[in-house]
Amino acid sequence: MTEAIQIVTTVADQQEAERIADFLVSQRLAACVQIGGPVTSLFRWEGKLDMAREWQLTIKTHASRYAEVEAAIRRIHTYDEPEILALPILAGSEGYLRWLAESVDAAV
């Protein structure tokens, strides 16, 4: 197991996705953010079934940066309660994982 993680969040539009991605990478909170979309999400919110067109961000970072990444997403995000899920990266190429850690100033 590595200390690398991927954080997933969804946002309402491409501009919001780009704002969050730019902030996280420029502040060295993430080594890379991939933006995918649009995606269609079907969910229950406030007791009703809802559907939305969204953009998904996959954020590559180090576990030691999770709290800062979550705080940054919450500051920028427009949703009342955004999806913010951290997923462990169980294994990866040594060079990539080293680059990831160095890119976010994490202990290697």
DSSP code of residue 107: -
For residue 37, CA distances in Å to 4, 7, 9, 63 come to 24, 16, 12, 25
For residue 105, what pLDDT is reported?
84
For residue 48, what pLDDT is reported?
96
Q: What is the pTM of this model?
A: 0.93
Reduced 3-state DSSP string for 27-93: CCCCCEEEEEEEEEEEEEECCEEEEEEEEEEEEEEEHHHHHHHHHHHHHHCCCCCCCCEEEECCCCC
Residue indicated by tokens 């539009």: 13
DSSP code of residue 9: E
Element (H, E) at 8: strand 4-11
For residue 46, what pLDDT is reported?
92
For residue 38, what pLDDT is reported?
96
Q: For 52-92, how does the pLDDT look when each residue is reduced to its tens digit (9 = 90+)?
A: 999 999 999 999 999 999 999 999 999 999 999 999 999 99
For residue 5, what pLDDT is reported?
98
Q: For 15-42, how does the pLDDT look when each residue is reduced to its tens digit (9 = 90+)?
A: 999 999 999 999 999 999 999 999 999 9
